[in-house]
Amino acid sequence: MSEKEYKLSPVGKVQAGQDGYVLKIASKYRNALKGLDGFGHINVIWWSHYLDTPEHRGIMESEQPYAKGPSTLGIFATRSPLRPNPICVSTAAVLSVDVEKGLIVVPWIDAEDGTPILDIKPYHPSSDRIREVKMPKWCQHWPQWYEDSGEFDWSAEFINAR
């Protein structure tokens, strides 16, 4: 397999504040927001810049990150931001879109203030929702729906959160 390098350019940044989160889109990408205001959710692809180090990129396994999970998991079996390429994907509800100012207001996203946004795609059930999802036994009790995740006790699921 030949290796090739790819250049990624952020389209914006996450702005986290006391009132919630705003995805600030760079001026040259603002026209790409047209028509997004009709969608209730988006998939945000972002770069985990705080964990972009050779050491973090070299982590291929994690020692029991989940309380009910196996003693070791390969990094591709987790949603950890520690990855060979620290690309993360989050689904976020859209509260409002301002094309002129380049702002998407979301109630919450699991990214830090200043996180580079690589891309945004509308969430669409025909391509993003699966009717019969298969999950390992150790995480089958997790919420089946995004809307239920907010009330779920995630701290009980992670070893480091205890």
DSSP 115: P
Residue type present at position 24: K
> Which domains does the chain show, CATH number per domain?
12-161 (2.40.30.70)
Contact 100, 27 (CB under 8 A): no
This prediction has a pTM of: 0.92
Q: Among all chains, which residue has been given the structure tokens 């976020």?
A: 92
Tens digits of per-residue pLDDT, 112-127?
Answer: 999 999 999 999 999 9
Tens digits of per-residue pLDDT, 101-154?
Answer: 999 999 999 999 999 999 999 999 999 999 999 999 999 999 999 899 989 999
